[in-house]
């Protein structure tokens, strides 16, 4: 069998491949065949992810009883530690925050953050982390210049041989070019050009481009280009791309992705005017948080420790720990994974949203910090846990706030949607090659036709 696309999602524990054809009907509307999917354990620890990739392809071939050929292969990856980034800016709540938002939205995992002038101990930490990328921000446009220049000189002197992304004060650009001459440098628009203004999208695009160029240098990923002949993206960045496509179609949303090692929350919403008027610092419309301690396999111990008697019911923590599987099949294993998934979703959402506090000085009222999800219309579940385990939609609906008080959580009217074909990451990377086909994949997987028709 020959297909138009084969898309691989190489995760921390599981490698999933999706094969499909793209067609146009008589009205020139694009649609895709029902995708074929295969999975296998990721083999990054064997030093060659292609082993798991080939095993997942073989899984499809076993299902269709014939060999599989494809015209183009794309991939997303969160294996080999993901896209590790260190961020160095001027002020924690301004340029540092903006750079972090850009990195997270592109699929990065933030391993280190510094505010102000760096110290020698910070350089030692960068060596210990061995990041995939280093981001330097600092200063609004035509504002403070010295800190970013100082940090750039300190980083350049070490010759880390890592991609450097500069996204600070535009007045520093010529100096930055001279400082990093001969090194891999990306200079882009300031992520915090003016006070209370975030500009994260240009940085996200460059981060993804740099990731694709450098992914083959990551441990265990050096052979990935032998099979992949199209785009490669960080898996979380691909999910964010799909989230933004969906926002344009159906409006405010939040996407939950519970994995073996992490739980990611992607939201695309401006929030309510009430909360916006209270915010102390601006928030991006498209925001991602990654909870590196919340996973239902690699990091299951962390989630088990968070469980309390209300979560456990008739079970106990020892029972849960004894039934953790990368791919649960037995009923007891599925029950344990469902319980951990529910807890991971609850904790991750409460970390993603902000807080509202009463003012105690000056004029009376409230102030708000962080992301507001109160206007979210759709709570979407993707990833293996929420799409393949039972009761995914129920788990998503339980994050809603059902009272009438002011809140940053999704409200009573929000609906749950499940990415039944598990293709949000797949559609995200496909959108770089064929956005119409990516939209068709999302429309089919999430059963969106009736929703879109109502909105039209």
Q: Which two tokens stand for residue 50?
A: 């292609």
Is residue 49's pLDDT more than 70?
Answer: yes
What pLDDT sits at residue 149? 98
What pLDDT sits at residue 82? 66
Name the average pLDDT for the chain. 91
Backbone angles phi, psi at 408, to 5 degrees: -105, 0
Higher pLDDT among residues 26 and 279, named by residue:
279
Is residue 78's pLDDT more than 80?
Answer: no
What pLDDT sits at residue 364? 67
Per-residue pLDDT tens for 234-266?
Answer: 888 899 999 999 999 999 999 999 988 889 999
Strand pairing of 14-20 and 36-41? antiparallel
Using pLDDT thresholds of 50, 70 and 90, give the confidence band for residue 226: confident
Higher pLDDT among residues 314 and 134, named by residue:
134
Which single residue is written with the structure tokens 């008027």?
A: 277
Is residue 387's pLDDT more than 90?
Answer: yes
Per-residue pLDDT tens for 146-173?
Answer: 999 999 999 999 999 999 999 999 999 9
Which single residue is written with the structure tokens 């009923």?
A: 331
Average pLDDT over every residue of 408-427: 95
Cα separation, 44 vs 51, in Å, equals 9
Per-residue pLDDT tens for 428-449?
Answer: 999 999 999 999 999 999 999 8
Average pLDDT over every residue of 2-30: 88
What pLDDT sits at residue 362? 64
Cα separation, 215 vs 415, in Å, equals 37
Per-residue pLDDT tens for 320-349?
Answer: 999 999 889 999 999 999 999 999 999 999
Q: Which of 46-50, 137-141, 217-221, 450-454 has the highest mean pLDDT?
A: 137-141
Is residue 455's pLDDT more than 80?
Answer: no
Enumerate domains of the chain plus CATH numbers.
Answer: 2-80+221-226 (3.30.420), 83-217 (3.40.50.360), 234-301+343-455 (no CATH)
Per-residue pLDDT tens for 193-208?
Answer: 998 888 988 888 888 8
Q: Cβ(180)–Cβ(135) under 8 Å?
A: no
Cα separation, 399 vs 414, in Å, equals 10
Backbone angles phi, psi at 377, to 5 degrees: -95, -30
Cα separation, 180 vs 456, in Å, equals 51
Higher pLDDT among residues 11 and 350, named by residue:
350
Q: What is the share, in percent, of the chain residues with pLDDT greater than 90? A: 68
pTM: 0.86
Burial of residue 174 (number of CB atoms within 10 Å: 0-12, 13-18, 19+): exposed
Question: Count of CB atoms within 10 A of residue 248's CB?
Answer: 9
What pLDDT sits at residue 120? 94
- End-to-end, the C-alpha distance of the chain in Å comes to 38
Q: What is the share, in percent, of the chain residues with pLDDT greater than 70? A: 96
Q: Which of 92, 133, 129 is nearest to 111 (CA)?
A: 129
Cα separation, 17 vs 217, in Å, equals 22
Q: Cβ(45)–Cβ(52) under 8 Å?
A: no
What Cα–Cα distance (Å) separates residue 123 from each residue in 96, 129, 136, 167, 174? 17, 10, 13, 20, 24
Is residue 403's pLDDT more than 60?
Answer: yes
What pLDDT sits at residue 365? 81
Per-residue pLDDT tens for 272-297?
Answer: 999 999 998 889 999 999 888 899 99
């Amino acid at each position: 069998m020959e297909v138009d696309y084969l898309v691989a999602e190489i995760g921390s524990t599981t490698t999933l491949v999706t094969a499909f054809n793209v067609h146009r009907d008589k009205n020139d509307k694009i649609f895709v065949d029902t995708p074929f999917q295969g999975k296998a354990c990721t083999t990054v620890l064997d030093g060659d992810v292609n082993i798991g990739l080939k095993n997942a392809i073989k899984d499809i071939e076993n299902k269709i009883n014939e060999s599989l050929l494809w015209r183009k292969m794309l991939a997303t990856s969160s294996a080999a530690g993901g896209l590790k980034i260190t961020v160095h800016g001027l002020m924690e709540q301004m340029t540092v925050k903006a750079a972090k938002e850009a990195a997270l939205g592109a699929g990065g995992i933030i391993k280190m953050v510094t505010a102000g002038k760096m110290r020698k101990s910070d350089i030692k930490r960068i060596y210990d982390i061995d990041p995939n990328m280093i981001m330097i921000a600092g200063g609004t446009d035509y504002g403070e210049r010295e800190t970013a220049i100082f940090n750039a000189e300190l980083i350049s002197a070490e010759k880390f041989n890592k991609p450097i992304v500069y996204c600070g004060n535009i007045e520093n650009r010529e100096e930055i070019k001279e400082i990093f001459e001969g090194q891999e440098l990306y200079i882009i628009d300031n992520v915090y050009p003016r006070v209370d203004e975030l500009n994260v999208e240009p940085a996200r695009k460059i981060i993804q481009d740099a990731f694709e160029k450098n992914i083959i240098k990551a441990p265990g990923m050096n052979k990935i280009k032998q099979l992949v002949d199209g785009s490669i993206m960080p898996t979380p960045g691909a999910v964010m791309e799909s989230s933004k496509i969906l926002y344009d179609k159906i409006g405010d949303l939040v996407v939950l992705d519970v994995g073996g090692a992490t739980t990611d929350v992607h939201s695309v919403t401006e929030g309510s005017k009430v909360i916006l008027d209270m915010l102390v610092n601006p928030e991006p419309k498209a925001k991602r948080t990654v909870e590196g301690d919340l996973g239902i396999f690699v990091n299951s111990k962390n989630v088990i420790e968070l469980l309390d008697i209300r979560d456990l019911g008739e079970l106990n923590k020892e029972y849960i720990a004894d039934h953790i599987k990368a791919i649960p099949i037995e009923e007891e294993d599925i029950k344990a994974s469902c319980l951990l998934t529910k807890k991971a979703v609850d904790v991750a959402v409460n970390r993603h949203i902000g807080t509202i506090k009463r003012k105690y000085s000056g004029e009376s009222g409230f102030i708000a910090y962080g992301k507001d999800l109160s206007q979210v219309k759709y709570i979407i579940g993707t990833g293996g846990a929420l799409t393949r385990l039972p009761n995914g939609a129920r788990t998503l609906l339980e994050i809603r706030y059902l009272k009438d008080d002011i809140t940053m959580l999704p409200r009573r009217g929000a609906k749950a949607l499940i990415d039944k074909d598990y293709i949000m990451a797949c559609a995200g990377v496909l959108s770089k090659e064929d956005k119409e086909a990516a939209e068709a994949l999302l429309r089919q997987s999430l059963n969106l036709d009736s929703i879109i028709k109502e909105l039209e």
